[in-house]
Amino acid sequence: MAKEKTSVIEDKAEEKIKDESKAEAKKESEVVVKIEEKAVESEIADSAEDKKPRDERTGIAYVYATFNNTIVHITDLAGNTISRVSGGMVTKHDRLKSNPTIAMFVAKKAAEKAKDVGITSLYVRMRAQTGGLGMGPGAHAAITSLGKEGFRIVNVLDTTKVARGGPKKKGGKRGRRV
């Protein structure tokens, strides 16, 4: 009889353990299901954000920098002019038109008009004088100023024309005597 009581008690204990383990397993599965539901909801939210149209308009900024002047010309991708500003429109002094500080103001003035239209990113085309000594002093100042104005600069390209022979330079056989 004592053996039967102990076996009955053991059976009841085993049933309790099974019931408790089932309850714990049920709780764990509910927690896992909740976590999976949250993950699915976040994935749906992420995909919905990806599908939202972004208002990103792209333009082209042509920076023509010589040793006499700096011109910033911003167009849309079709080539329609949005703004065109030169150093002479910012300062009255001829000697300052190619100055980096003036180039910075030129780029700011051109950027204001482009922002009004809604342009957010720019392709930059730099150009120097053909056959010259290189970029003018205002080129890099104008580009950095465009970046600081909040435009995302996609790329910068040098489009300076290169003379390949061409007409004979003046000065005769021995060159120009100074």
Q: What is the pLDDT of residues 2-29, one digit of tens each?
A: 555 566 666 666 776 777 777 776 777 6
Task: Give me the mean pLDDT over the 76-87 stretch.
Answer: 95
**C-alpha–C-alpha distance, residues 73 and 89, integer Å:** 13
User: Residue 138: phi, psi to the nearest 5?
Assistant: -95, -5
Tell me the pairing of strands 70-76 and 81-86.
antiparallel
How many residues belong to the chain?
178
Task: Give me the mean pLDDT over the 72-91 stretch.
Answer: 95
Superfamily for domain range 57-158: Ribosomal protein S11/S14 (3.30.420.80)
**Residue 53: pLDDT over 70:** no
From the number of C-beta atoms within 10 Å of its C-beta (0-12, 13-18, 19+), residue 151 rates as buried
Task: Give me the mean pLDDT over the 88-100 stretch.
Answer: 92
Average pLDDT, the chain: 84
| Nearest Cα to Cα of residue 57 among 80, 34, 40 | 80
Of residues 51 and 133, the one with the higher pLDDT is 133
pLDDT category at 48 given cuts 50, 70, 90 is low
Residue 85 neighbours by CB under 8 Å, 6+ apart? 71, 72, 106, 107, 109, 110
Rama region for 118: left / alpha / beta (φ>0; ψ in -120 to 50; rest): left
Tell me what pLDDT residue 52 has. Answer: 47
Residue 80 neighbours by CB under 8 Å, 6+ apart? none
Region of poorest pLDDT, from 26-30, 82-86, 156-160, 168-172: 26-30
Tell me the whole-structure pTM to 2 decimals: 0.64
User: Residue 65: phi, psi to the nearest 5?
Assistant: -120, 110
